Amino acid sequence: AQSVTQLGSHVSVSEGALVLLRCNYSSSVPPYLFWYVQYPNQGLQLLLKYTTGATLVKGINGFEAEFKKSETSFHLTKPSAHMSDAAEYFCAVSDEGFKTIFGAGTRLFVKA
Amino acid sequence: DTAVSQTPKYLVTQMGNDKSIKCEQNLGHDTMYWYKQDSKKFLKIMFSYNNKELIINETVPNRFSPKSPDKAHLNLHINSLELGDSAVYFCASSQLATSTDTQYFGPGTRLTVL
C-alpha cells in the first residue's frame, strides 16, 4: 500500500534562507507525486507534480522538488524563503486506484 | 468565478442536530471529493463521486451521507452531529477519477459542534 512520510511537522527558516521540506514515499507502482500548499484559512492548491520523465520538477512561487527513486524521496526546496511562504505543505502520492494519499503536513514558519 | 465553492464557510451547531454542506465546481470536472481535516491538519478522504456515481466510500459513520445531484455539485449531509465531527471539511474536484490527477480544493467549511 502507498504511504507518505513528511519528516518534521514544523520547519522554521529565516527570510532569505533555503527552504527544505522532506517527503519520503512508499509505492508498489511507479508513483505520481504531489506537493500541495495550504495558506491559512484556505483550501489546498497544487505547488507541483511529478508524473514521469524529468526528475526535477519546477512549481509555482519558486519551489521545486526532485524525485529520487533510489531514496524514495520527493523533497521540496526553495532557494530563498519569503514571508509569504509561511503555510502548511502537504506531500501526496497516487495509489493504485482512485485515492490520493496525503502526508501529515509540515508547517513552514518564516522569521523576519 | 470561483472554481470550487463551498457553503457555508462556518457552521456552528449543537450536538444532535442535522446539517448540510454544499459544494459546487465550475471547472467542468467529472470527479468530486469530500475530505475531513482534523485539528492536527491531517487530511482524510471521505467520499468521491465520478459522474454522480460513488467511487470512494471510506470508513465513515453512516451519519454522513453524500449526494451528487449532478456532476458539478456534491453535498454532504450529516445527521445527529457529535463533538468529534468538529473539523474543517474540504470539497475538491478533478477532471479524471484517478489518483494521478490534480485536485482542486474549495476554501473549506469549518464545522464546530457544541
pLDDT in tens, B19-73: 999 999 999 999 999 999 999 888 999 999 999 899 988 888 999 999 999 999 9
Q: Which of A28-32, A81-85, A103-107, B100-104 is predicted least confidently?
A: A28-32
Task: Render pLDDT for A43-65 as a digit per residue (tens, 0 to 9).
Answer: 999 999 999 888 999 999 999 99
3-state helix, strand, coil in chain B (%, to 5): 5, 55, 40
C-alpha distance from B52 to closest chain A C-alpha (Å): 15
Q: What rounded mean pLDDT belongs to chain B?
A: 93
The rounded distance, in Å, linking the Cα atoms of A41 and B88 is 10
Over pLDDT 70: what percentage of chain A?
A: 100
Q: Is B78 exposed, middle or buried (0-12, 13-18, 19+ CB in 10 A)?
A: buried
The percentage of chain B sitting over the pLDDT mark of 90, rounded to a whole number, equals 82
Q: Identify the band that residue A112 occupies on the pLDDT scale cut at 50, 70 and 90.
A: very high
Are A105 and B56 inside 8 Å of each other by CB? no
Bridge partners of residue A10, in order along the sequence: A107
Which pLDDT belongs to residue A98?
82
**A94–chain B nearest CA distance, Å:** 5
A31: left (phi over 0), alpha (psi -120 to 50) or beta: beta
Instruction: Tell me the pLDDT of chain A averaged across its residues.
Output: 94
Of the two residues B57 and A38, the one the predictor is more confident about is A38
pLDDT at res. A99: 87
pLDDT band for B97, please (50, 70, 90 cuts): confident
CA–CA separation, A70 vs B27, rounded Å? 37
Confidence of residue B14 (pLDDT cuts 50, 70, 90): very high
Residues of B with CB under 8 A from a CB of A: 4, 40-43, 45, 48, 50, 55-56, 90, 92, 97-100, 102-108
- DSSP class of residue A79 equals S
- Cα distances (angstroms) measured from residue A109 to each of A54, A70, A85: 30, 30, 8
What pLDDT digit, counting tens, does each position of A82-104 carry? 999 999 999 999 887 788 999 99
